[in-house]
Structure 1
């Protein structure tokens, strides 16, 4: 069976949702990853081709990419896995998509812009909940207030968290926070600031986190000062602030092993019922030097459900020839209103 695209990490929690969504829409991904046993079982279930290889096997990776025009990379933590896949795409001419939310991965891809343009390759990390809705919201706010000099984004969601997301969080637990100041990404303490935001249901306390938009919103809008917040339970905020003193310990090998063993014992991710009941709420405010402000809100389906929809739609667009070369963000590639095409998405401008 000929494959439409390569889906690496297809048997992970989010990878499975993506594979199922692709199948629903008539696409045939080439399922790929390191674990041959899991791939064989998944391929038999979905009736799809599969290929087992590790990312450090450059020959096998290049051969797989040579069979498809685009890869959707779903195997995190992307801080370890994105670079070899990006480099392989630049070698083979395949377009690159992933579902990361990691600032370092976005900046790594942005640094490859010139090479990607020369190769005619699109690099579009963050094609899922991280960061399609928030990036489109940022670009919409810039459109509403072209003179904006600062951007604040916030989000909250219900439904639960996958093992992959928790593993990424564990690996970065001791690194603190990040904001953008004067166009530069700046490290700040964990849980740097808190504020109240109205997502449309009354005020909610949110706290800063080093979310991907600290990188991508700047590339999308040029706004030099950016902060991202999310709703975090008070107990977790206290734990985040404690990492300011204990970051060295959280990054140690014994503690990392302990945290990852605990994560592995938990559920793979939200159940279908939890995802169906869940939703995501986003809020953004752009302000200019004269104090003028624009505020907008966005409501979307639950994050993992939305990730499957947006990432597969990005693949469909690439297959249709919509793949501008170079490093792209979702809104730069497909416009601020791209998020509005998905079922269950509503945007509101707050006057």
Structure 2
């Protein structure tokens, strides 16, 4: 077992390939894994990296692959279909588990394995990428400065970029499903876009409209900060948000196999994700605000590299730490494991308190 080696499952996907290409810069050597033999071997030949081909329902092959490493990074979404299998395998084989998931429901599912992970002496840390490293660290940073905070709002804007094919496919699978918010410590279903607000993101002259959307922080920020009321928002054209207000009338249609099939075919016909030129010239903007029972508020802004670039860098940074035996056993969020300063270890990140 090499102390700079880890298993990268889903390495042939858009984000998995980015991680594989960035790994050498972190002194790491991933073993490329997944189901697509041709794509994996092509990438492995190019990067001079070993390849392991197996599906997650092949428990013998998965167990054999896990014997070679101490850390698994799951980059194979949708995580509804991959997280549980790999988490259980990692617990059984005493291997640390990281993933790039951004779904609050999946986070809460993985959290149920906390005791089992502690018994095995391993760490389970989903959300080791853009979902949710920067926002999780920002939430804890604000909580540290307002210990009595009772509410948290987080908004983000990804401008001049696009979704990866994998993220878009996951979005298709969620068409017509309800959104979420955290109210008094509990996840509560609500319509996607139930709330809208204008936000002044860092560096922007004008405020940008955002709408409520379920994001992983509804789970992770609650674990990291204990704040019982959490809302998450994303930038969107206000006209599109107004259209969503009538979603009750057509949500049934969005959930049909016909509509999802059409959307899926459209997604698969598009490019895998933003190219390097787009990633290099794009930043992701984050705004967050906490408030207490007295009505006092504290607001912060953060600028980070483009979302997919940040995902690769954050996942490799955390993998590097785990391989250096810097980890906490059990279920962890990025901030609970490594503190609010973790995100500041990534080049190009800026954060500040905003004057009210």
TM-score (norm 2): 0.96
User: In 2, Cα distance between the equivalents of 1:62 and 1:10?
Assistant: 18
The equivalent position to 2:320 in structure 1, one of 303, 307, 316, is 316
Mapped to 2, the partners of 1:117 and 1:332 lie a distance apart of 15
Match of 1:304 among 285, 303, 308: 308
Structure 1 portions without partners, runs of 5+:
none
Query: Is 1:284–1:296's contact at 8 Å kept on the other side of the alignment?
Result: yes
| 1:243 equivalent among 239, 243, 247 | 247
Asked if residue 58 in structure 1 is aligned to residue 59 in structure 2, the reply is: yes
| 1:161 matched to 2:157 | no
SS of corresponding position for 1:151: strand
Q: Is the 8 A contact 2:175 2:260 kept in 1?
A: no
Aligned-pair CA distance for 1:235: 4.4
Q: Does structure 2 retain, via aligned residues, the 8 Å contact 1:139–1:221?
A: yes
User: Does 2:289 correspond to 1:288?
Assistant: no
Counterpart-to-counterpart distance in 1, 2:269 and 2:245: 26
Aligned residues, how many? Answer: 351
Q: Which of 180, 186, 191 in structure 2 is aligned with 1:184? A: 186
CA displacement, residues 285-305 of structure 1 (integer Å, 9 cap, x when unaligned): 110001111111100010000
Distance 2:311 2:340 in 1: 17
Distance (whole Å) between structure 2 residues aligned to residue 247 and residue 63 of structure 1: 44
- The offset of 1:38, in angstroms, is 0.8
* Secondary structure of the corresponding residue to residue 127 of structure 2: coil
Q: Equivalent residues in 2 for 1:1-351 (5 A)?
A: 4-158=5-159, 159-200=161-202, 201=204, 202-351=206-355
Offset from partner CA, 1:98-155 (integer Å, 9 cap, x none)? 0010111100111111111111110000000000000001001100100000000100
Superimposed CA distance per residue, residues 227-263 of structure 1 (whole angstroms, 9 cap, x where no aligned partner): 0011012343245444333222222222222111110
Q: How well do the aligned residues superpose, as a CA RMSD in angstroms?
A: 1.3
Per-residue CA distance 1:1-59 (angstroms, 9 max, x = gap): 95710000001000110000112333110100001111111110100000110011111
Q: Say if 1:174 and 1:64 are closer, same or farther in 2 by CA, change over 3 A.
A: same
Alpha-carbon distance in 2 for matches of 1:187, 1:20: 39
- CA distance in structure 2 between the aligned counterparts of 1:124 and 1:210, rounded to whole angstroms: 19
Cα distance in 2 for partners of 1:124, 1:308 equals 15
Higher deviation after alignment, 337-346 or 254-263: 254-263
CA distance in 2, matches of 1:245, 1:300: 38
CA contact (8 A) 1:162 1:269 kept: yes
Contact map agreement 1:96 1:122 (CA 8 A) in 2: yes
Distance 1:238 1:173, change over 3 A: farther
Hey, which bits of structure 1, 4+ residues long, moved more than 4 A? none
The alpha-carbon distance between structure 1 residues 56 and 242, as it changes in their structure 2 partners (threshold 3 A), is farther
For residues 334 and 153 of structure 2, what CA distance do their matches in structure 1 show?
18
How many Å separate the matches in 1 of 2:208 and 2:143? Answer: 24
